Structure 1
Amino acid sequence: MAALVERITNHETVITLIHTGLDESREVVIQAGSFGEHTFTHATWSDQNGEEIGSFEVDDKWLQIKLEPGSGLQLKLRTVRYANSPSYATPWSKPVSLIQGRKQ
């Protein structure tokens, strides 16, 4: 699996994912922020020609994508910054909050 983060703004993240293998489908989990401190609210995906294929609501700090062998897509993810407390939690573990949030 190859990932290219094309653009990050205050309200949007654009990522291209390519499954370089030829034998079986693969899944990848994308996290909103290094410590999950942001939230993805909406996803739109496009093909290699830039044509929109579909969209859906997310409302989570993680997004799991499954790609078939030799396929790829571009994701545009609407993002709300600093919506979550930063943590080392993963989608597969119990939440751990060892990080102190930024004081403003």
Structure 2
Amino acid sequence: MLKFTFAAAAGLLSLTQLASASSDAAWNALFAKANGTCIGQSRMVSPEASAPVVFDDATGKIAILLREKSGKSKKMVNLICLYDKKSGKASIAEYRWLGH
């Protein structure tokens, strides 16, 4: 009986490691898709992108901040992108810092 319990515990631990590894891969794939969608829709040439901000499951959104200096004026353009995890669609809007 003790051998069976030990074997079962070892099996569960190995499955837990596999689950977390695939979970990391799934999150990384989701972040890459969100980032690519947001950058593509922004029409920016080479923007800086923030780390993704993940909202709770009830919201189902990932936010990514993008910024880039615009062409000749060299003015900084700031965009926020909200990526919907279920639909795969993104919404983008320009934002300004308060006081600027």
Same fold (TM over 0.5): no
More strand by share: 1
More helix by share: 2
Q: TM-score, normalised by structure 2?
A: 0.29
Larger radius of gyration: 2
Greater relative CO (CA pairs within 8 A, separation 6+): 1
